[in-house]
Amino acid sequence: MTLVRERRQQQALRLTLPPPSLSLNPSPVSSSSSTSSSPGIGALSDLKKLSVIGRGNGGTVYKVSHMQSGVVYALKVVRFHEDMGSVTREAEILQRVDSSEYVVRCIGVFNDGFSEIDGRGGDLCFLMEYMDVGSLHDILCRKKRLPEHAISGITRSVLRGLQYLHGLEVVHRDIKPSNLLVNTRGEVKIADFGASWLVSACGDRTTTCITTNVDACKGTCAYMSPERMDPERWDVGDCCDGYAGDVWSLGVVAMECYVGHFPFVGPGEKFDWVTLMCAICFGENVESAVKMASPEFESFCGRCLERDWRKRGTVEELLVHPFLHKFDTNGVEDLLYCIDSSD
């Protein structure tokens, strides 16, 4: 089924942020579904919808194929008119982050004035690299827990992705298992910039970047850092650019991979906002959840999950942490083994 009528040829959205324009000529992407080359995609009508990958507050993601070449992509469709500022910012950020092997690549952005998907207009469509295994969340739902050597490879890839993003003054603000995508090469990449911020857009780097206004609540609360939950307690000031919050979120993800459930509560235990805030901001040292782990992993989690953002480990520090260099392999083979092994 074609996504839109052939007679309605959507134009690529041209943005003002450097680089000057988004390319609409897809180059090879890191997926087993990709071919070595593919012709340009000039309009959404060049694509065929295959299935729905996921739905959420940020929109709907479809698995699509380029009808001429057969190359498979992911197409994220968001309502432009529902939150124009947020969607525009996501497009600007995606335009910046197009050259890292640790970030899911955006092939092009389309302004769709009319959509046959549900008969309404005002969509912005992001054509993305397709990661054919799915998300880390999908893997955890199936495997429950991952061994330390696989977690080491995952965290190394995410840290390299964060190093790249932070170098571009991009704060992701929603690092969680469902936003870490995996392909059959064992590559782990950061996805979904719907809650992200450009630090340079926050002027003097005041708390606007971290906590103020309704937009600050974007992102999944369970993975938010203490300074985002309770900025007054943790003295969020002009020098807090938000990068440390991404490190906290990665620490929560690493612990979740190890213990097999969200680490701040017991297995299967439900929690509300108050319970969550108390656990994150006032609970016992969170690394106690991995007290049976290796000293290196316990130390790594402790550096990520330091409640005072000023004392928390930085991306650069964590990239040379012993936990990331404890194992002989690079983590790719270990993750592939976990994916392929029987449940």
Nearest to 89 by CA among 3, 5, 173: 173
Handedness of CA 16, 19, 24, 30 (dihedral sign): negative
- The DSSP result for 209-272, as a single string, is GTT-SGGGG-S-GGG--HHHH-TTTTT--TT--SHHHHHHHHHHHHHHHHHSS-TTS-TT----
How much of the chain is helix, strand and coil, in % rounded to 5? 35, 15, 50
151: left (phi over 0), alpha (psi -120 to 50) or beta: alpha
CA pair distance 106, 108, nearest whole angstrom: 6
Is residue 48 within 8 Å of 65, Cβ to Cβ? yes
Helix (H) or strand (E) holding 326, with range, is none
* Rounded Cα distance, 139 and 312, in Å: 28
Token output for 275? 């319970």
> What's the CA gap between 183 and 185, in Å, rounded?
5
The answer to whether the annotation marks 76 as part of a ligand binding site is yes
How many beta carbons lie within 10 A of that of residue 328, not counting itself? 7
Return the structure tokens found at 148: 């330390």
Sequence-distant (6+) residues with CB within 8 A of 148 are 258, 293, 294, 297, 323, 326, 327
DSSP 103: B
Task: Give CA angle at 278 (275, 284), nearest 5°.
Answer: 115
Whether 174 is a known active-site residue: answer yes
Structure tokens at 292: 């049976």
Catalytic residue among 83, 174, 192, 246: 174
What is the number of residues in the chain?
343
Could you tell me which residues are beta bridge partners of residue 111?
A: 124
Tokens of 313: 């480990």
Residues flagged as binding site: 76
Catalytic residues: 174
Binding annotation for ATP = 76
